[in-house]
Amino acid sequence: MAPTPSSSSKLSQTHMRTPQSKQRLNFSSTRNNPQHPNSIAAKENPPGEHPVEVIGRIRNYPGDQKDKNPIPFLHINPDNNTLRVRADIGYRDFSLDGVSSSEEEDLDAFYKKFIESRINGVKMGAKCTVMMYGPTGSGKSHTMFGCPKQPGIVYRSLKGILGEHGEDENGGERLGVGTFVQVTVLEIYNEEIYDLLSTNGGGGGFGFGWPKGGNGSKAKLEVMGKKVKNANFISGNEAGKISKEIQKVEKRRIVKSTLCNERSSRSHCMIILDVPTVGGRLMLVDMAGSENIDQAGQVGFEAKMQTAKINQGNIALKRVVESIANGDSHVPFRDSKLTMLLQDSFEDDQSKILMILCASPDPKEIHKTVCTLEYGAKAKCIVRGPHTPTKDKNEDSSSAALLGSRLAAMDQFIHKLQMENKLREKERNEAHKELLKKKEEAAALRALVEGKGTSGATEEEINAKVNEQALILKLELEKKLDKCRRMAEELVEMERRRMEERILQQQEEVEMLRRRLQEIEFELCCSRDGRNAVENEAKELDSGSSNFAKRLIGIYGDEIPGMVKSMDLDMGDPEPVMHDSSGIHPDGFAPQFGPKTGLSTVYEEEEIEEDEEQKENEEDEVVEKLIIEEKRVCSSEIVNDLRPKQSDSDTASSRLLRIQNIFTLCGNQRELTQQISTETPTKPMAETIDHYWSEVKSLDKENSPPGLIAACLNKKETPYNDFADAQIEVYVKWEASKEIPGKFITTLKVVKDATLADLRKLIEIYLAADNQAFTFLLLGPVGSY
Ligand SMILES: Nc1ncnc2c1ncn2[C@@H]1O[C@H](COP(=O)(O)OP(=O)(O)OP(=O)(O)O)[C@@H](O)[C@H]1O
């Protein structure tokens, strides 16, 4: 912690002596007062000077009180130096060095009128003490510190010494390169001195009356002689920065609400502003309110004691002033900390004191105002006596001490400047290096840009290149597309050829089958009609496949005995005709034929009257439609048994009869099948079931015959035996639609409970055309044909 210039120097502490400490100030007694024209001193000695100047400052009415008191009791006389206090019984004039009303002169005007000249003196090395004296609420702090709109004397003085931006206020030449100030801020409270710039709290706090949000406890300082020891200070040459610091610490002052002032300063505040380069010193003292204990309205012993202690400084100062003014041999400077610190201000003949007496215009405050003015008038009367040789001798030693102090402060400041200079030098070097680096980077970038500019292509060239590349890519793409197209065409062609080959192959197979069929038919004819017939058939077969169909008609054209000729009973088709057990068709069409092996399904041609060419074509179609499968042969006896009796033309009764016959037939067949199916189903049988299963799978289940589907589905879960048990074989002959003419014969397996509708569905599946209409012609047990 750096000491204040005055306290840091041991020299100043030990050797500094108040020049006039051993010499009484001449006071204004008539006898000794040199100002008095009749005084002896005036005759013998040159007139002494007044070390204390007194200015009256009348604050404006607080709030709306002005309206309530239209007639002011304080009146400034035209000479501007006399203040008249009016009372009911008369008036009293107080002669001062100046009077100012804050209503007429704001702080700026007041500063310029009464303070500025003294600050200029400090700048030149003079010493000046400005102290605010007056009762609480009279505007002391306001005048000293001001308000945000109007800076007080403290800040204006700083600006006056250092200038706005480190230059002097008038914007002229600075007072040498080393013009700076050192500022110490002290607070005297309860007869203790505290360092408001200290934040470490070495001296402990008060615990009473601290302002809210204070920066913690303050350091307590000791007084050595007439100076404080180890006080912190702010040094610098920028008024703004220092002002900000003072503003901060000023808030740390102890304030308290009193009857007289809501935020009453309960302490004396002393701002010591040294200008080491010239030895100037400005002491700004904002004194606590000068009211007495009762006026302060404090209650309680402790509070009263505090008020008493606060007043101790005021009372001591009052006594000092009176003592000096009276020419007493002893001036009680040491009665209070305040007067100890102000001793130099009174005794140093180069020091001037400006006492600002603050007064309120409120008539209620008249008593305090009069007291204050009386006090000021006394202080104004202090006259500093002429110098004596002894004093000169003392002055010399004092001057030496002062010089030593100044030199120490200068050394300190120079050291500080050197450090700052080094720091700035370092920053400058770093900035310079950074600048060089940036320059290099900029040069490199420039070179890059320039290089690109010379070697690079123009925009048109770049565009042309891009277009060229795009064209190449497009051509390549088109080539690839062509290739793909060709490949696809080749593939299609290949596939087409393969399909053609397959068709040819299938045609060959069909041809082979046709031939095989012819052989079978031939064998069949041989077995039935004998050799001649066989020869005839062979001849017919040789003559073309159309004869095959013709022969089939010959063979199967008649209704098979025991078969039902059905006209789709469910759909109201023409009624089927039932054969009698003799196997004779009602039309006399159906011939008898015995058990036989052969086709389960054949296509019957009805008309073979067309010309040869047409016949050949139709034969080809018929051959293609042939479905050959192995067929089990049933005995004709069964058919005979199952065959219904000869039907008559009575439609209703014959229909009922026929239906009954069908179910009888189916029932008989079921019995037969049950007998047969005790054996394990043969492979063809299993294949047939599989065939139906695959057919049924492709069906739309909702529209499928329930019995059949059930059977087929059950077949999946049940073994063949069970499935065979559940089925019977039925011989069915039907006629397809007119679009696809022809008759079909086949044996079908149906479930035992199947209805004609189921059978119809089965045939639809068989035809693989759901929408294809057809008509039942015959229905009967297997082997009945
Ligand atoms: N000239 C003025 N113009 C405007 N307001 C003023 C003026 N003088 C004082 N005041 C206001 O009056 C109130 C009391 O003033 P101030 O605190 O300066 O009195 P004080 O003499 O310092 O009192 P204390 O001794 O109790 O600290 C403050 O709110 C202050 O702003």
- Give 668-727 pLDDT, tens digit per residue: 444 444 444 444 444 444 454 445 445 444 444 444 443 333 333 333 333 444 445 567
Q: Which has more pLDDT, 617 or 138?
A: 138
Return the DSSP state at 211: P
Annotated ligand binding at 125? The verdict is no
Ligand 1 pocket residue status of 314, Cβ below 6 Å: no
Ligand 1 pocket residue status of 134, Cβ below 6 Å: yes
Q: Find the CATH number of the domain harbouring 380.
A: 3.40.850.10
ipTM: 0.96
CB 250 within 8 A of CB 19: no
Q: What is the pLDDT of residue 87?
A: 79
In the block, residue with structure tokens 């229905």 = 779
Distance from residue 141's CA to the centre of ligand 1 (Å): 6
User: What band does 310 get if pLDDT is binned at 50, 70 and 90?
Assistant: low
Distance from residue 314's CA to the centre of ligand 1 (Å): 18
Same domain, 561 and 638: yes
The Cα 162–Cα 166 span in angstroms is 5
If one counts every other C-beta atom within 10 angstroms of the C-beta of residue 601, the result is: 18
Same domain, 535 and 628: no
How far, in Å, are 207, 697, 714 from residue 705 at the CA level? 108, 12, 14
Tokens at residue 522, please? 């031939």
Best CA proximity match to 779, nearest among 582, 551, 569, 555: 569
350 within some domain: yes
Distance from residue 182's CA to the centre of ligand 1 (Å): 28
User: What band does 506 get if pLDDT is binned at 50, 70 and 90?
Assistant: very high
Distance from residue 164's CA to the centre of ligand 1 (Å): 27
240 within some domain: yes
Nearest CA to ligand 1 atom 2: 59
Select the highest-mean-pLDDT range: 335-344, 384-393, 544-553, 695-704. 335-344
446 within some domain: no
Same domain, 371 and 343: yes
Q: Can you state the percent helix, strand and coil of the chain, rounding each to 5?
A: 50, 15, 35
Nearest CA to ligand 1 atom 8: 139
Q: What is the pLDDT of residue 525?
A: 83
- Listed range (114-123, 282-291, 722-731) with the worst mean pLDDT: 722-731
The Cα 74–Cα 363 span in angstroms is 8
Q: Which of 388, 406, 424 is the endpoint of a domain?
A: 406
Tokens at residue 509, please? 């197979």
Strands 127-133 and 351-359: parallel
Provide the 3-class DSSP secondary structure of residue 494: helix
What is the per-residue pLDDT across 540-592, written as a single tens digit (0 to 9) for each? 555 544 444 454 445 444 444 434 333 333 344 443 333 343 333 333 333 33
Q: What is the pLDDT of residue 741?
A: 62
416 within some domain: no
**Number of domains making up the chain:** 3
Distance from residue 118's CA to the centre of ligand 1 (Å): 24
Mean per-residue pLDDT over the chain, rounded: 68
Same domain, 25 and 142: yes
What is the per-residue pLDDT across 187-202, written as a single tens digit (0 to 9) for each? 888 888 988 888 764 4
Q: Given ligand 1 and candidates 100, 111, 142, which is best to mutate, with the most ligand atoms within 8 Å of its CB? A: 142
Same domain, 612 and 524: no
- Listed range (65-69, 314-318, 410-414, 525-529) with the worst mean pLDDT: 65-69
Return the DSSP state at 601: S
CB 42 within 8 A of CB 421: no
Q: What is the pLDDT of residue 775?
A: 75
Residue 493 structural domain = 458-543
Same domain, 534 and 584: no
Q: What is the pLDDT of residue 380?
A: 84
Atom of ligand 1 nearest to the CA of 102: 1
448 within some domain: no
Distance from residue 136's CA to the centre of ligand 1 (Å): 8
Same domain, 57 and 13: yes
Atom of ligand 1 nearest to the CA of 138: 21
Q: What is the pLDDT of residue 587?
A: 38
Q: What is the pLDDT of residue 256?
A: 64
Tokens at residue 12, please? 């100043």
- Listed range (81-90, 464-473, 632-641) with the worst mean pLDDT: 632-641
Best CA proximity match to 351, nearest among 375, 386, 384: 384
The Cα 286–Cα 210 span in angstroms is 18
424 within some domain: no
Q: Which of 543, 577, 599 is the endpoint of a domain?
A: 543
Annotated ligand binding at 140? The verdict is yes
Ligand 1 pocket residue status of 138, Cβ below 6 Å: yes
Distance from residue 263's CA to the centre of ligand 1 (Å): 9
What is the per-residue pLDDT across 147-158, written as a single tens digit (0 to 9) for each? 888 899 999 999
Ligand 1 pocket residue status of 141, Cβ below 6 Å: yes
Q: What is the pLDDT of residue 40?
A: 41
Ligand 1 pocket residue status of 296, Cβ below 6 Å: no
Same domain, 357 and 469: no
Distance from residue 187's CA to the centre of ligand 1 (Å): 18
Same domain, 633 and 742: yes
Locate all alpha helices (DSSP H) within 72-230, ordered by sequence: 107-110, 116-123, 140-145, 153-162
Q: What is the pLDDT of residue 349?
A: 79
Same domain, 467 and 522: yes
The Cα 627–Cα 349 span in angstroms is 150
In the block, residue with structure tokens 């505040």 = 269
Tokens at residue 777, please? 């012609």
Annotated ligand binding at 134? The verdict is yes
The Cα 99–Cα 105 span in angstroms is 10
Atom of ligand 1 nearest to the CA of 290: 25
User: What band does 496 get if pLDDT is binned at 50, 70 and 90?
Assistant: very high
Annotated ligand binding at 141? The verdict is yes
Ligand 1 pocket residue status of 358, Cβ below 6 Å: yes
Q: Which of 519, 543, 567 is the endpoint of a domain?
A: 543
Same domain, 198 and 79: yes
420 within some domain: no
Quote the Cα angle for 95-98-100, to 5°. 115
How far, in Å, are 25, 97, 127, 350, 676 from residue 346 at the CA level? 9, 18, 11, 9, 153
Ligand 1 pocket residue status of 59, Cβ below 6 Å: yes
329 within some domain: yes
Q: Which has more pLDDT, 172 or 307?
A: 307
Radius of gyration, CA atoms only, the chain: 70
User: What band does 74 get if pLDDT is binned at 50, 70 and 90?
Assistant: confident
Q: What is the pLDDT of residue 543?
A: 52
Ligand 1 pocket residue status of 368, Cβ below 6 Å: no
Question: For a pLDDT cut of 90, what percent of the chain falls above it?
Answer: 18
Best CA proximity match to 356, nearest among 156, 635, 92, 100: 100
Beta strands in 287-423 (DSSP E): 351-359
Q: What is the pLDDT of residue 627?
A: 38
User: What band does 67 get if pLDDT is binned at 50, 70 and 90?
Assistant: low
Q: Which residues contact 189 (CB under 8 A, 6 or more apart)?
A: 206, 254, 266, 267, 268, 310
Q: What is the pLDDT of residue 305?
A: 64
The Cα 748–Cα 627 span in angstroms is 13
Same domain, 116 and 80: yes
The Cα 202–Cα 219 span in angstroms is 5
Provide the 3-class DSSP secondary structure of residue 744: strand
Q: What is the pLDDT of residue 361?
A: 85
Distance from residue 303's CA to the centre of ligand 1 (Å): 22
Atom of ligand 1 nearest to the CA of 142: 18
What is the torsional sign of CA 705, 709, 711, 712? positive
User: What band does 476 get if pLDDT is binned at 50, 70 and 90?
Assistant: very high
pLDDT greater than 50 at residue 24 = no
Which DSSP string corresponds to 553-594?
Answer: HHHHSSPPTT-B--S-GGGTPSPP-B--TT---TTS-PPP--
Annotated ligand binding at 138? The verdict is yes
Ligand 1 pocket residue status of 289, Cβ below 6 Å: yes
User: What band does 283 get if pLDDT is binned at 50, 70 and 90?
Assistant: very high
